[in-house]
Amino acid sequence: MNRCGGRFSSVWLGGVSLLFQTRNVVRFAPAANGAVFLIQGVPMKKIAVAGLLTAMMATASAQVYVGGGIGQTHLNVDCASSVTCDATDTGGKLYVGYKFTPNLALEGTYFNFGEATARGPGGRAALKTTAIGLGLAGRAALSERVSFVGRLGLAQVKADGSVNTVSLVGSDSETSAQAYFGLAVEFALMKSLKAFASADFSQIEVDGDSGAVRLLGVGLQYDF
């Protein structure tokens, strides 16, 4: 039995090849022999200083927020008829933000874009995608309670591949720098608590070829 190491290797899946292709598509195409799996009494001066420090701390605290969501993920996959593909999964995200202004913030985010799998007569192949990103979030109030959010940043995207077939068992991973962007609508439930619906998009890269990934989800955000 062979084991794969280094970069992603060929995987035999009973007459079908799983190929990463350019143009944001991961393609499963037939082949002759198999598949390729490619975060009182205090002086007035002291009272004034204490009041100023308290106000500054309250302002700084109000600028920090955290959030998290869960939803459905998808990797662009084109399957041949002889391979069973599952390009959707459950994923999510966690983020922390700091507002420079009421409308502009810096965010750090962890994404779980889920796992895509392919099964054929010869075995199974899977590709899991996670990412850590840093970017800007811009907010525009649509009403007193509802806001629109746009996000843009750069992420380190990690693709973890695994194969389990008759002729090959192993795993490998590849990390690449990719842009990400997202859109969301926030609804204020309370002064410090918001619910949101969001869509986040990025790409994975394996052996120079890429595939688009997305996360459509809902969640909560808390402003300190």
pLDDT of residue 83: 74
Specify the pTM: 0.74
Least confident of 133-137, 161-165, 179-183: 161-165
Strand partners, 97: 65, 107
User: Hey, is 51 helix, strand or coil?
Assistant: helix
Cα 201–205–207 angle (5° rounding)? 170
> How far apart are alpha carbons 76 and 189 in whole angstroms?
35
- Give the confidence band of 106 by pLDDT, cuts at 50, 70, 90: very high
The yes-or-no verdict on residue 33 having pLDDT over 50 is: no
- Give the confidence band of 28 by pLDDT, cuts at 50, 70, 90: very low
User: Hey, is 191 helix, strand or coil?
Assistant: coil
For the chain, percent of residues with pLDDT exceeding 90: 52
- Give the confidence band of 187 by pLDDT, cuts at 50, 70, 90: very high
Going by C-beta distance under 8 Å and a sequence separation of 6 or more, which residues neighbour residue 22?
209, 210
Q: Which amino acid is at 163?
A: V
Going by C-beta distance under 8 Å and a sequence separation of 6 or more, which residues neighbour residue 62?
99, 223, 224
Count Cβ atoms below 10 Å from residue 120 Cβ, excluding itself.
24
Average pLDDT over residues 204-220: 90
Residue among 67, 16, 26, 39 at smallest CA distance from 159? 26
The yes-or-no verdict on residue 11 having pLDDT over 60 is: no
User: Hey, is 15 helix, strand or coil?
Assistant: coil
| Conformational region of residue 96, where left means phi above 0, alpha means psi within -120 to 50, and beta covers everything else | beta
